[in-house]
Structure 1
Amino acid sequence: MRAQEFKVNIVGLSQKAHRFDYEFGDEFFKLYGQVLLEGGQFKAAVTLDKRETLIETNFRIEGTARLICDRSLEPFDFPMDIDRTILFKYGEEEKELSDEIVMITRNQQSLDIGQYMYELIAVNVPMKRLHPKFQEDDLEESDIKLVYSSPISEKEKDEDAIDPRWEKLKKLK
């Protein structure tokens, strides 16, 4: 698998919707770096709708990512179902305006769809990676409310006691 397989030549595309289907696995993650994932198997349907001023790109990615459990260090498969849209607007310089809008120049020949697919998968990796066998334990732990209280010292007890002068004033009511 080469990175070229995921580059789409946008100059040659007509102004209409174009669909690209990809299937990728562990080799894909080696191409783009596998910092967060051990690997996985995915199918992606990418629709590029080229218009005069922008390219609307819809990513539909389904599959399983192989993750390492934070608790037991066992590998497990985590299912993912991603549906995101990224707009590539034509402008004077190349820059990312937001998570969903990227400015590109009219001179740009191609889009690296693979990089965006990798980033969408990486963003969907959970912060807390728990093997499914620990999911119930985690839910039970989240229901427990931990309350910490230290023993009351003698000084605090004295502060809680009412000053005798104030006590006499209360009796005047």
Structure 2
Amino acid sequence: MKTFDIEVIKFKEGQHEFDFEINEIFFRHFEDNEILDKGNLTVRVLMDKGPNLIELEFQIQGTVELTCDRSLEVFDYELETSEVMIYKYGPIEQEIDENVSMITRDTPSINVAQLIYEFILLALPAKKIHPDHRNELDEEDYDVEGGFVYIQSEEEENLEESSETEENESKPVDPRWEQLLKLKNKEQS
């Protein structure tokens, strides 16, 4: 993973560019990797080195091989994402938050392999659906009534929602609640 080291100490202030190729050899280096085995991606890292911080912009694009959650078929997923990581100079090396870390001025290099891997995982869809099955309905897209599948159109949903609000507006308010609302409004005034 040394090929993913950016030797920041060698570069002067200004903008610099690095390109990395990601393939199945890259994914083998991560033990907790149960999602990705194969992929062909290119990563362009744009480094803007300033007097007090280093900003790295990651532009990742290519394809990864995923397994469909519905059919268990393997398919290629087009991936394109952009992320930013900031390194501030400080007295110690520590992570400040997920996109900001502190490094010392004599830190020789930053290894970006773990960051690239995490950015790829973040860019994956929550549901991995094969392109052949994307037009099929998901379970949450329909209601089951009396043993039959009833698919509700958007128009019917909108009509149902508007009739519910009309019903709520036309119902008389319980006098006890009215009194409580008056008390509440009085306290707020």
Please classify the TM superposition score into its range, dividing by the shorter chain length: 0.7 to 0.9
Deviates more, 1:115-124 or 1:85-94: 85-94
2:130 pairs with 1:125: no
RMSD value over aligned CA atoms?
1.8
Instruction: Give the structure-1-normalised TM-score.
Output: 0.76
Cα gap change, 1:136 to 1:142, in 2 (>3 Å): farther
**Is the Cα contact below 8 Å between 1:36 and 1:125 reproduced in 2?**
no
Q: Which amino acid aligns with 1:7?
A: D
Q: Look up the SS of the partner of 2:26 in the other structure.
A: helix
CA change 1:143–1:73 in 2 (3 A) is closer
- Counterpart of 2:48? 49
Equivalences for 1:62-81 in 2 at 5 Å?
62-81=61-80
Are the counterparts in 1 of residues 28 and 37 from structure 2 also a CA contact under 8 Å?
A: no
Matched-pair contact (CA < 8 Å) for 1:41–1:63 = yes
Relative to the length of structure 2, the TM-score reads 0.70
Output the CA distance in 2 between the equivalents of 1:86 and 1:147: 50
Runs (5+) with no aligned partner, structure 2: 147-189
**Percent of aligned pairs sharing the same letter:** 33
Q: What is the number of residues matched between the two proteins?
A: 145
Alpha carbons 2:18, 2:46 under 8 Å: kept:
yes
Separation of aligned partners in 2, 1:106 and 1:16: 16
Aligned to 2:100: 101
Moved over 4 A (4+): none
Query: In structure 1, what is the equivalent of residue 6 of structure 2?
Result: 8
Is the radius of gyration larger for structure 1 or structure 2? 1
Q: Residue 83 of structure 1 aligns to which amino acid in structure 2?
A: S
CA distance in 2, matches of 1:63, 1:136: 24
Partner of 1:156 in structure 2?
Answer: none
Q: Which runs of 5+ in 1 are unaligned?
A: 149-173
